[in-house]
Structure 1
């Protein structure tokens, strides 16, 4: 996956949004972090992996993929805020984990990253998140395509005063 292409697209979207809302000089790190946490919660809710009390099935794959990609947007945006310009996505080498455990691993990685704001913790967060995506059955190609589609939607929303 060429994640650097997505970084460039995200940088352009971030710049557009910040200009539209007069936020060019604002530090939006906390807002982006909270947005990421909310998006991951929405993703978990669609998978229903933690709802041991329910017999209802998970949402359709395309709904779950769109929620996953919403998280990708904020992860990329946080990397840009950290100064990341080039990133190498490694193949996953994590042990098998249940979806619930992997969601918790992602939350833990976000906590580590936001407390230290280092490239090492960012790297861990990105890899934990993309491992979650692989655990959900998403190929890198599906993620890239869905990201590009949602990126277009995000521009349209801005133009419509979202």
Structure 2
């Protein structure tokens, strides 16, 4: 996966949204952080593994939707929610001044359970927000951002079983949909 390329694509989408919605000069970081937390909850809900009370703990990896009498669309809700999170993670990184990250130097989070990883990712998000609120300097949030990104990428590849190619293609597909939504007044 080419993270630098994804950061560049995300920057274009962010700029497009800001222009379309007349948000120039506004600080949207709080909204992006909250949106990421919501999307992470939606991802966990599609994963379902934490639902100890349910007989149905299988991830929602495919759904079929009838488009009309002759067409059916198949998609992966788990992967779609994952890339929704990735959009906001990249967008937050851009707000912090990050444009590329070397993931080969990041920690090993393979010992965490998937449930623990979701909780830890929420903690990373909160740590970024705390850094920003406490120090008022974006650079202080870099370390926690790198942890967030590393843990999130590990979640996708090691625990949810996505390949880098699947993630990148799903990101590109969803990015196209996001641009179309903006063009259609979403």
Whether TM exceeds 0.5 here: the answer is yes
Q: Provide the TM-score with structure 1 as the length reference.
A: 0.95
* Among candidates 120, 126, 129, match of residue 114 of structure 1: 129
- Structure 1, unaligned runs of 5 or more: none
Where does structure 1 differ by over 4 angstroms across 4 or more consecutive aligned residues?
Answer: none
Measure how far apart 1:95 and its partner are. 3.7
- Cα distance in 2 between the residues matched to 1:82 and 1:68: 21
1:126 corresponds to which residue?
149
Offset, 1:22:
0.6
Asked whether the equivalents of residues 39 and 81 of structure 2 are also in contact (C-alpha less than 8 Å), the reply is yes
Instruction: Find the aligned partners of 2:110 and 2:61 in 1 and give their Cα distance.
Output: 26
Give the corresponding residue for 1:15.
15
Q: Structure 1 residue 92: deviation in Å?
A: 5.3
User: 3-state DSSP class of the match of 1:120?
Assistant: helix
Comparing both chains, which one has the higher relative contact order based on Cα–Cα distances under 8 Å and sequence gaps of 6 or more? Answer: 1
Larger strand fraction of residues:
2
Q: Aligned residues, how many?
A: 162
Indicate conservation of the 8 Å contact 2:14/2:91, yes or no.
yes
Match for residue 167 of structure 2? 143
Shift of 1:159: 0.9
TM-score (norm 2): 0.84
Q: 2:118 aligns with which of 103, 109, 125?
A: 103
| Alignment match, 1:60 | 61
Uncovered stretches (5+) of structure 2, i.e. residues with no partner: 63-75, 133-140
Structure with higher Rg: it is 2
Query: Residues 73-97 of structure 1: CA distance to partner in whole angstroms, max 9, x if unpaired?
Result: 0000000001112221226522422
- Report the secondary structure of 2:123's partner residue: helix
